[in-house]
Amino acid sequence: MTMTTSLTRIQIYVLTTLLLGLGVMGYAGYRIAADLQREKTGYAAAHIADRVNSLIGRQQNAMEKIAARPDVAGALRRGRPQDLGRDAPELGALLPHALAARLLPVAGADGAGLDPACRNFVQHALAAENRTSAPEFHAAGALPEHYDLLHPVRDENGKPIGYVLGSFARKPLQELIERGLGNPREYLELQQANADETILAIATTGDRAAADTVEAVAVALADSRWTLLYWPRVTMPPFFAGARTFHFLLIVAAAAAMLALSMLLHVRARRAVRHDIVSLGRIFNDVRAGSVRVDYPMELRDFSSVFQYLRESGRRLAEEKTKLKDMGLIDHLSQLSNRRHFEMRLKELYDLARTHGPSSVLIMDVDHFKKVNDNHGHDAGDALITGFAAALRKTVRQSDVLARLGGDEFCIIYTYVPLEKAIALAERLRKQLPREIPLTKGIMHNVRWTGGLSTIGERDKKFDDVLWRADQAMIKAKEAGRNNTMSFDPANSQMPQKEIMRS
């Protein structure tokens, strides 16, 4: 028997799948929360970078306004040192957080008179195409104290006549960085990439140890070589603290409730299925007994259509059986069709053979039936007949006709089955029928039977010609020693016999 899976195993599969799904959902939620936290960190770094960009933008706008002043242009045209230095304090006051401001004429734009670092910055700025520099710290070693900006001053034709050089304090940048730090255990650093590929830290704040534990969030500042690096200090708070303890216990309670509910549903499902299987068995028993009840209790609505179909089919079978009894077409001992009903069905199949195909007939005799009556009495013989009939009823297909012709002689009509297939069915029947049948007083009788098989032929003149051939084949089988089956093919002019199987 092929075994299928059980309800318990299905329930385990469902529960396992559900728990795995919850685990995957929990992990996905954790990843989403981590991504949101990182995105939030990125927003914080971008917000600080925007403040730095805003400060540099205000300073560049102020330098642009200074470069557009007529007096500045006049001083640069004259190029006299006293003119260039006279307005420097006033110009510096106009620049936000400026340490100093200088006017450089084109002729002296190489930075003469400046310290080497500032002169190097001016020379690099003049080498650029637009002659407008990005902010640059140009001190080495310790944190630099100022950064420079350079802006051209042009005449009415757009030709450069000089430059405005502004030096700005580092302190405002440092204050912006410090105000942007939300947690003193985090770390912020504003870096500058120099031309020689070195990195200069121009402003820092927070705990430097955070840079060794987490990955930095980097934000490049617009139009500069500056990059803001932010190391958020992510620390795991105690798990069982505050509301987290309540939420954890809530999750555990929900999981326990889910498990308990799942087991309860499993127990109810098994009980309901067992109940409905018992009802199904009652239907078959009632059909066999010929009395179908009006209703059968059911637990599962899913089986209602199946039960309804079986009940209606059983009711019709019981009514048909009662009708056959009333018509005298049922054998009273075996509860199978009698010879009269058998001949009626055989004639119907004979008339339909040309349109629906031939049917085959198997005649069976129980071997040594007379000895059972002689040795154990007629009650034992009746028990053998009823037991053999019940065994046939279990193995023969519902579409076939099963009848008792009289005494120990039984017959099966394989409806619309040709001879070759009928031979296979007869072989299977011999394998499936029980070897022993209980008689009266606990006596077990070894069942042996002899059979003859034939099929309705195209040249048959009467419906019972096939019955005659099957009977002749059975006679030959008895002559061959009984307990075997032989066939008679109507297509042959002779009467060849073929042994199908010997028990």
Residue 362 has pLDDT above 90, yes or no: yes
The band of 1, judged by pLDDT with boundaries at 50, 70 and 90, is very low
Task: Decide the pairing of beta strands 409-414 and 401-406.
Answer: antiparallel
Q: 353 — phi, psi (to 5°)?
A: -60, -40
Sheet of strand 484-488: strand arrangement: 401-406, 409-414, 360-366, 449-455, 484-488, 499-502
The band of 292, judged by pLDDT with boundaries at 50, 70 and 90, is low
Per residue in 161-197, pLDDT (tens digit) is 888 888 898 899 888 888 888 788 888 899 888 877 8
Residue 129 has pLDDT above 60, yes or no: no
pLDDT of residue 405: 92
The label of the residue with tokens 């498990």 reads: 259
Facing residues of 191 across strands? 201, 227
The band of 116, judged by pLDDT with boundaries at 50, 70 and 90, is confident
Which region among 79-93, 376-390, 471-485 has the lowest average model confidence (pLDDT)? 79-93
Angle subtended at Cα 285 by Cα 281 and Cα 291, rounded to the nearest 5 degrees? 130
pLDDT of residue 14: 74
pLDDT of residue 71: 85
Please say whether the beta carbons of 500 and 421 come within 8 A.
Answer: no
Of 1, 7, 3, which Cα lies nearest the Cα of 276?
A: 7
pLDDT of residue 111: 57
Give start and end residues of each alpha helix (H) in 445-487. Answer: 465-479
Give start and end residues of each alpha helix (H) in 413-490. Answer: 419-432, 465-479
Residue 294 has pLDDT above 70, yes or no: no
pTM listed for this prediction: 0.44
Per residue in 56-112, pLDDT (tens digit) is 889 889 989 988 888 888 888 887 776 676 667 777 788 888 888 888 887 765 555
Q: 162 — phi, psi (to 5°)?
A: 165, -170
Domain locations along the chain: 7-231, 243-302, 327-502
The one-character DSSP state at 217 is E
Please say whether the beta carbons of 215 and 234 come within 8 A.
Answer: no
Each residue of 120-140: b (16+ CB within 10 Å) or e? Answer: ebbeebbeeeeebbbbbbbbe
Per residue in 245-288, pLDDT (tens digit) is 777 778 888 878 877 887 787 788 778 777 777 777 776 666 66
What is the amino acid identity at position 85? G
Residue 335 has pLDDT above 80, yes or no: yes
What is the amino acid identity at position 329? L
Task: Decide the pairing of beta strands 146-154 and 499-502.
Answer: unpaired
The fold of the 7-231 domain, in CATH, is: Beta-Lactamase (3.30.450)
C-alpha distance from residue 406 to each of 153, 320, 364, 366 (Å): 131, 22, 11, 11
pLDDT of residue 241: 63
> Between 440 and 364, where is the model more confident?
364
The HSE-up count of residue 187 (CA atoms within 13 Å, CB side) is 15
Q: How far apart are CA 202 and CA 146, in angstroms?
A: 9
Q: How far apart are CA 311 and CA 315, in angstroms?
A: 6
The band of 503, judged by pLDDT with boundaries at 50, 70 and 90, is low
Please say whether the beta carbons of 60 and 133 come within 8 A.
Answer: no
> Between 378 and 233, where is the model more confident?
378
Computed on alpha carbons and rounded to an integer, the radius of gyration of the chain in Å comes to 53
Q: Which helix (H) or strand (E) holds 282?
A: helix 243-289
Mean pLDDT of the chain: 81
Q: How far apart are CA 225 and CA 128, in angstroms?
A: 14
The band of 487, judged by pLDDT with boundaries at 50, 70 and 90, is very high
How many other β-carbons are positioned within 10 Å of the β-carbon of residue 5? Answer: 9
CATH H-level superfamily of 327-502: Reverse transcriptase/Diguanylate cyclase domain (3.30.70.270)
Q: How far apart are CA 501 and CA 345, in angstroms?
A: 27
Q: How far apart are CA 471 and CA 91, in angstroms?
A: 133
Same topology between domain 7-231 and domain 327-502:
no
Please say whether the beta carbons of 216 and 229 come within 8 A.
Answer: yes
pLDDT of residue 2: 42
Q: How far apart are CA 469 and CA 495, in angstroms?
A: 9
pLDDT of residue 411: 96
Per residue in 440-468, pLDDT (tens digit) is 878 889 989 999 999 999 889 999 999 99
